[in-house]
Amino acid sequence: MGKTRRMDPRCKSVDVAKDLVDWRKPLLWQVGHLGEKYDDWVHQPVDRPIRLFHSNFMESLSTTAWYTVCLTWIPIVLCLSWYCYTALAREDTRLFSTFTTAYSIRIHKYWFPLLFLMGMCIWTFLEYLIHRFVFHLKPPASSYYLITLHFLMHGQHHKSPFDDSRLVFPPVPAGLIILAIYVITKPLFPNAFGLSLFTGGLFGYVVYDMTHYYLHYGSPEKGTYLYKLKAYHVKHHFEHQKAGFGITSTFWDYPFQTLIPEETFENDN
């Protein structure tokens, strides 16, 4: 997965002496003091790396290479897939058995591919919701801590969209979020049924992270789906920060009416 490194003309240059923060120091503890200036500042992209923490250890947990996502999560997806398939093969997994035995539905092993795909589809919905309602929730100008949290979660990416070490989620924070989703959803379905959905969703997350990295650094061929998706995502960063929340797909932008207006994308790549 090669990357094309070039200065984007839409990124503003940073005058270290006049900027609202001191780029020679970690930014995380500074942004909360920007108050009402934070929202405008964070949406003025720059093309330079960001340091968040004083501690080298904490800093290492906040950055990662793109391939780390695959090395971390693909083996887990494969192991969970095998476990789910063999568990379903025992044919003791039934849907609705909590409410009724007579009309419960036996889930066979042949259901696994369908459940896996359903999990991937569910992830695209979660991807949209998280991106729109968590990552793009405007923090109150009076709250130092909420501004800091917003910058940690997503503001840093909009401030420096070409910092390649911050384009995918590091394994530690990603693992905590994935674990929380698993714990919340586990009681909703029978074990192998729910875990099959979860496994598909986990793979959907990997596809999302890899797609997001490629949209920033890849060079898709003109006219392809990824070319259009890259142009769409570029417009989200530089022109329409309050629209275009789909990353792997624009599907959910349609029903939620957050689709970026149809335009030509000749100058986006």
The model's pLDDT over 220-264, given as tens digits with 9 standing for 90+, comes to 999 999 999 999 999 999 989 899 999 999 999 999 999 998 764
State phi, psi for 106 to the nearest 5 degrees: -75, 130
What mean pLDDT comes out for the span 169-175?
A: 92
pTM (predicted TM-score)? 0.87
Q: Residue-wise over 28-37: b if at least 16 C-beta within 10 A, else e?
A: beebbebeee
- Single out the residue of 79, 88, 94 nearest to residue 109, CA to CA: 88
Distances (CA, A) of 169 to 64, 172, 225: 7, 8, 24
User: What does the pLDDT read at residue 252?
Assistant: 96
Domains of the chain: which residue ranges?
31-253
Task: Work out the mean pLDDT of the chain and round it to a whole number.
Answer: 87
Distances (CA, A) of 186 to 7, 109, 168, 198: 45, 19, 26, 9
The model's pLDDT over 176-198, given as tens digits with 9 standing for 90+, comes to 999 998 998 888 877 888 899 99
pLDDT of 99 strictly over 60: no
3-state secondary structure (DSSP) of residue 111: helix
Helix (H) or strand (E) run with residue 183 in it: helix 171-185
Structure tokens at 51: 């340091």
User: What does the pLDDT read at residue 269?
Assistant: 47
Structure tokens at 241: 């920060």
Residues 6+ apart with CB under 8 A from 21: 27, 30, 31, 34, 41
